[in-house]
Amino acid sequence: MAQGAVAIDRTAINSKTGISAALFVLALILLALGAVISRAEVGAGLGPSDWAAVRFTVLQAACSAVVSVFLAIPVARALARRRFIGRAALVTLLGAPFILPVIVAVLGLLAVFGRSGWLNAALEAVGLPTVSIYGFHGVVLAHVFFNMPLATRLLLQGWQTVPSERLRLVAQLRLTPRAIFRAVELPMLAQVVPGALALVFVICLTSFAVALTLGGGPRATTIELAIYQAFRFDFDLGRAAVLSVVQLVLAGSMALIALWLVPVVRVGGGLDRVMPRWDARSGLQLVMDGCVIALAALFLLVPLAAVIWRGLLGLPQMPAEVYAAAGTSISIAVTSILVLLVLALPMAGWIAGRKGGAVETIGLLGLSASPLMIGTGWFIVINPIADPFDFTLLVTILVNAMMALPFALRILVPPMRDAVAQYERLSAILGISGWRLWRVVLLPRLRAQIGFAAGLTGALSMGDLGVIALFADPEQATLPLQMVRLMGAYRMDAAAGAALVLLALSLGIFWICDKGGRWRAEA
């Protein structure tokens, strides 16, 4: 027994690099927080309005997460069961809303659901009362628009982990779709849904501009808005630090609960064959899947079309400086991908080698830390030693990688777990360990997921305004910053053009990585 444990320990992925990566991320956050606290004066605690903000934040994040993920289930299921022309394009476009700059996406949504949007124009035309998007439902609608596609992609990955032999078996047994759902899909969902819920919850937790704008007023105050106010207008670092801690604790505890719930189910090994689907061939199932896909596509693509249309109109007015900024953004995105992979792969390996999934929470903390807190904290740390302006790009890249880390972990950990479970013993017997284990066994098996994670990171980094807006050198402008500057200078049309370039580049980098990962593999 003792010998067995030793053997497995030797073959299991070296956990040291994984632990170092996790500690590095934790240090980045805690050092920033510590720096902010070190400069804080003892101030008042949280007032009643802060607690109202906490309540609203949690409520909207929970609702948004539940609605996003549960709507994503039928969409992912339909996409997993069907092959059709344009499916690959649709799957790529699922990444689009998520990577759009917030304000661009909001304007796209308003073109459809706004006061003078297409929906209300249609309602008016047939004599029905118009609807208002502003309010709690508007906040949830926007968050679903951002996150449902992401959840769909995560769940779709789950469906892909189902071995094709199992689907062949259920086809031979002529199981009904319902029985297949219970026997095959439900256990798989139990593994991926809690993680997806936690991720979307944390994303929505730090929402600020979307929640405020679509929430219709100060009722929709989130913690992030209070942090923003404390940092900038009140310059109350104590309050900012307390609020940041509240945000971290909320995200951390929710993530912990969700990831605790993930059952450690071994789906069982297959032969990694492509997966023809024999089930769900009846007419009713076909019509249902068709409707689900069409509705989801409509919900995502119509606002997107509005963004693209406005962008095309604005493109001729876009100044040439925007292209220079695009170059900066591309190099930031590529570097962020590299940093992310260096952090995420060892961490995923470490987490996959453990029984519970709770350490993944560390990854989620990076996302829930207010960028303003991280930016200010690091400013305080760097300022006595060097000129913070010189570190803008470095901090931007680190923050980008940190923000993408939870997505990457959510994408990488489940298949990594399976790969480790299946090939651990075999590798041990063959004496494969260390770098060879990664190269021969793990990386080829995780290729699709690595591509997806890299693509998402690239796209996120491309579109993120983040800390660059906090300390931007005039020469270091990124594409999102140039877009915001155009808007600030009344040039909304040119900004729409810049947004289109941004969308094209983000989707481009996402597509290249994602496609690269799935090259000659079934998606």
Q: Which residues bind other proteins (CB under 8 A)?
A: 39, 49, 103, 106-107, 110-111, 114-116, 134, 208-209, 212-219, 225, 228-229, 231-233, 235, 319, 321, 376, 379-380, 383-384, 387, 389, 469-474, 477, 481-482, 484-492
* Minimum CB distance to other proteins smaller for 25 or for 487: 487
Quickly count: other Cβ atoms within 10 Å of residue 489's Cβ. 10
φ/ψ (deg, to 5) at 269: -80, 150
* Minimum CB distance to other proteins smaller for 57 or for 361: 57
For residue 463 the two structure tokens come to: 């579109």
* Minimum CB distance to other proteins smaller for 391 or for 511: 391
> What is the C-alpha separation between 276 and 271, in angstroms, rounded?
14
* Minimum CB distance to other proteins smaller for 24 or for 118: 118
Distances in whole angstroms, Cα of residue 4 to Cα of each of 223, 247, 419, 429: 50, 43, 19, 11
Quickly count: other Cβ atoms within 10 Å of residue 440's Cβ. 14
Distances in whole angstroms, Cα of residue 457 to Cα of each of 236, 408, 422: 33, 8, 28
CB of 506 to other proteins, least distance (A): 20
CB of 213 to other proteins, least distance (A): 5
CB of 212 to other proteins, least distance (A): 6
Contact 375, 471 (CB under 8 A): yes
3-state secondary structure of 35: helix
CB of 376 to other proteins, least distance (A): 7
> What is the C-alpha separation between 278 and 167, in angstroms, rounded?
7
DSSP state of 128: P
* Minimum CB distance to other proteins smaller for 332 or for 365: 332
Contact 366, 25 (CB under 8 A): yes
CB of 132 to other proteins, least distance (A): 8
* CA neighbours closer than 13 Å in the CB half-sphere of residue 246: 23
CB of 51 to other proteins, least distance (A): 13
* Minimum CB distance to other proteins smaller for 246 or for 254: 246
Is residue 439 classed exposed, middle or buried when 0-12, 13-18 and 19+ CB atoms within 10 A define those classes?
exposed
Quickly count: other Cβ atoms within 10 Å of residue 438's Cβ. 18
CB of 396 to other proteins, least distance (A): 15
CB of 232 to other proteins, least distance (A): 5
* Minimum CB distance to other proteins smaller for 113 or for 510: 113
Contact 294, 86 (CB under 8 A): no
Quickly count: other Cβ atoms within 10 Å of residue 277's Cβ. 15
* Minimum CB distance to other proteins smaller for 189 or for 226: 226
| Polymer length in residues for the chain | 523
* Minimum CB distance to other proteins smaller for 214 or for 437: 214
For residue 82 the two structure tokens come to: 């069907």
Would you list the DSSP string of 36-60?
HHHTPPP-----HHHHHHHHHHHHH
CB of 233 to other proteins, least distance (A): 5
* Minimum CB distance to other proteins smaller for 80 or for 111: 111
Q: What type of residue is 291?
A: C
CB of 216 to other proteins, least distance (A): 5
